[in-house]
């Protein structure tokens, strides 16, 4: 029996309770969590923006220690420190093989529809994004864990599993920020802060952070932002003023709202690039005219999991952490317990804070 935060039905608060977690089956590993980040995607799963069978244990950004392995598992053993990979690629589908784009794997979320535990009443429980990290322990496919490179604190390493991979990838793989380019970052949550740090790593010139909350300026500047704007109707104009009248070379949208995506697009120069990281609902419709698409010659692109291959990129990020170029702790604005996750969701909705991190004993 382990304690977990269970989503009983979409739109209801999480309930911290005991669940019956079996030992690992063939090809599976059991992980004792050290920490789990509270991501906006978890909120989207809980409110129905993203689909998830219920009851479910959410949480997908986590790190911990392997405590047991199932039959046929190779490369992992009890005692190993690992980072959860919530979108494991199958290595065989068209996207994984022919296209070499594992972040678009058609089988990445197959585990979300397979029960992995039971309630006290014997009802099946599903793992949110194949991970179920809002629990003291979880059982996942061996493909869902990546070895944690030496020299990275286990607790803070949870952030590597989503926020940092996503933010780093948005800058380096999707937007392909070049040294000296200006970057506008919309949304200063956990991912936005990772984008700011990653833009600094890429050698960006101006890095302008934008958020609805003026209180986030200190967070943004601490991560490397050279400018800060409180979101308003004049945001695009203000960004053009800060960039010589042209607009930013790159905009990265970390909110997932049509209005913000449109502003990010408007904020870039002719020929500029806008990368959308935020996950929005299908009712969020972005409208562009045919004339402006031609005239501005801008690029608008989506970005899934930072267009990352976690097995390739995690060691790179770990090296940046070891050398002090990435500060994982700077992304965390609150360390909480399982019972505090609903309050962390509320803070997200209100636009407060960066990343809340659930820390287990």
- Average pLDDT of the residues in 352-356: 86
DSSP conformation class of 152:
S
Class of domain 167-304: alpha beta
pLDDT 10s digits, 71-110: 999 999 999 999 999 999 999 999 999 999 999 999 998 9
- Average of per-residue pLDDT across 305-328: 95
Separation CA 152–CA 319 (nearest Å): 9
Residue 199 near residue 186 (C-beta atoms within 8 A): no
Interior/surface letters 284-309, b for 16+ CB within 10 angstroms, e for the rest? beeeeeeeeeeebebebeebbbbbbb
Using alpha carbons, list the distances in angstroms from residue 360 to 36, 100, 153, 326: 8, 36, 14, 23
The pLDDT of residue 189 is 93
What does the pLDDT look like over 242-264, one tens digit per residue?
999 999 999 999 999 999 999 99
Summarised one tens digit per residue, pLDDT across range 133-156 is: 999 999 999 999 999 999 999 999
Please determine whether the domains at 2-148+327-359 and 167-304 fall in the same fold group of CATH.
no
Cα 255 from Cα 276, distance rounded (Å)? 8
Identify any residues that bridge with 230 across adjacent strands, giving them in sequence order: 211
Strands 15-19, 332-336: pairing is unpaired
User: pLDDT band at 53, cuts 50/70/90?
Assistant: very high
Whether residue 281 is preceded by a cis peptide bond, meaning omega within 30 degrees of 0, is no
- Which has the minimum average pLDDT: 33-37, 133-137, 283-287? 283-287
DSSP 260-318: HHHHHHHHEEEEEEEEE-S---TT------HHHHHHH--EEEE-SGGG--HHHHHHHHH
Give CA–CA dist 239/236, Å, rounded. Answer: 5
Helices 341-349/40-47 angle, 10° precision = 100
pLDDT at residue 361 is higher than 80: no
Answer whether 19's CB lies under 8 Å from 135's CB: yes
Q: How far apart are CA 17 and CA 136, in angstroms?
A: 11
Chain centroid to Cα 319, Å, comes to 20
Q: Which CATH number fits domain 2-148+327-359: 1.10.150.650, 3.90.180.10, 3.40.1350.10, 3.30.1330.10?
A: 3.90.180.10
Per-residue confidence (pLDDT) for residue 167, from 0 to 100:
97
Q: How far apart are CA 229 and CA 210, in angstroms?
A: 5
Distance CA 13, CA 360 (A): 20
pLDDT given at position 353: 79
The contacts of residue 266 (CB under 8 Å, 6+ apart) are 236, 247
Helix or strand or coil: residue 47? Answer: helix
Which of 149, 148, 146, 202 is CA-nearest to residue 174? 202
Average pLDDT, the chain: 95
Instruction: Quote the CA–CA distance of 246 and 228 in Å, as a whole number.
Output: 18
Q: Mean per-residue pLDDT for 312-335?
A: 94
* Structure confidence at residue 120 (pLDDT): 86
Where along the chain do its domains lie? 2-148+327-359, 167-304
Distance CA 283, CA 21 (A): 37
pLDDT (tens digit per residue) in 116-135: 999 988 999 999 999 999 99
């Amino acid at each position: 029996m382990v304690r977990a935060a269970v989503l009983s039905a979409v739109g209801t608060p999480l309930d911290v309770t005991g669940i019956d977690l079996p030992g690992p089956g063939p090809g599976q590993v059991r992980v004792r969590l050290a920490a789990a980040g509270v991501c906006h995607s978890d909120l989207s799963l809980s409110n129905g923006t993203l689909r998830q069978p219920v009851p479910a244990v959410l949480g997908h950004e986590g790190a911990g220690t392997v405590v047991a392995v199932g039959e046929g598992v190779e490369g992992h053993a009890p005692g190993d420190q690992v980072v959860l990979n919530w979108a494991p690629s199958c290595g065989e589908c068209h996207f994984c093989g022919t296209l070499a784009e594992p972040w678009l794997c058609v089988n990445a979320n197959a585990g979300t529809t397979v029960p992995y535990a039971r309630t006290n009443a014997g009802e099946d429980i599903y793992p949110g994004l194949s991970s179920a990290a809002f629990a003291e322990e979880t059982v996942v496919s061996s493909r869902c864990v990546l070895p944690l490179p030496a020299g990275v604190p286990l607790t803070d390493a949870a952030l590597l599993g989503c926020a940092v991979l996503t933010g780093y990838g948005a800058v380096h793989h999707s937007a392909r920020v070049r040294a000296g380019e200006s970057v506008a970052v919309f949304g200063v949550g956990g991912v936005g802060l990772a984008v700011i740090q990653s833009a600094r790593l890429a050698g960006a010139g101006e890095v302008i952070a934008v958020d609805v909350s003026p209180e986030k300026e200190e967070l943004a500047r601490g991560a490397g932002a050279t400018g800060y704007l409180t979101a308003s109707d004049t945001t695009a104009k203000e960004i053009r003023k800060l960039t010589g009248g042209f607009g930013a070379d790159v905009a990265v949208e970390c909110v997932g709202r049509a209005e913000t995506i449109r502003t990010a697009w408007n904020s870039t120069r002719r020929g500029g690039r806008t990368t959308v990281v935020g996950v929005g609902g299908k009712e969020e419709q972005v409208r562009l005219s045919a004339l402006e698409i031609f005239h501005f010659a801008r690029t608008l692109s989506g970005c899934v999991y930072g267009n990352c291959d976690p097995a390739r990129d995690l060691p790179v990020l770990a090296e940046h952490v070891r050398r002090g170029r990435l500060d994982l702790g700077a992304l965390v604005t609150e360390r909480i317990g399982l019972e505090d996750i609903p309050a962390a969701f509320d803070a997200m909705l209100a636009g407060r804070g960066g990343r809340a991190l659930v820390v287990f004993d």
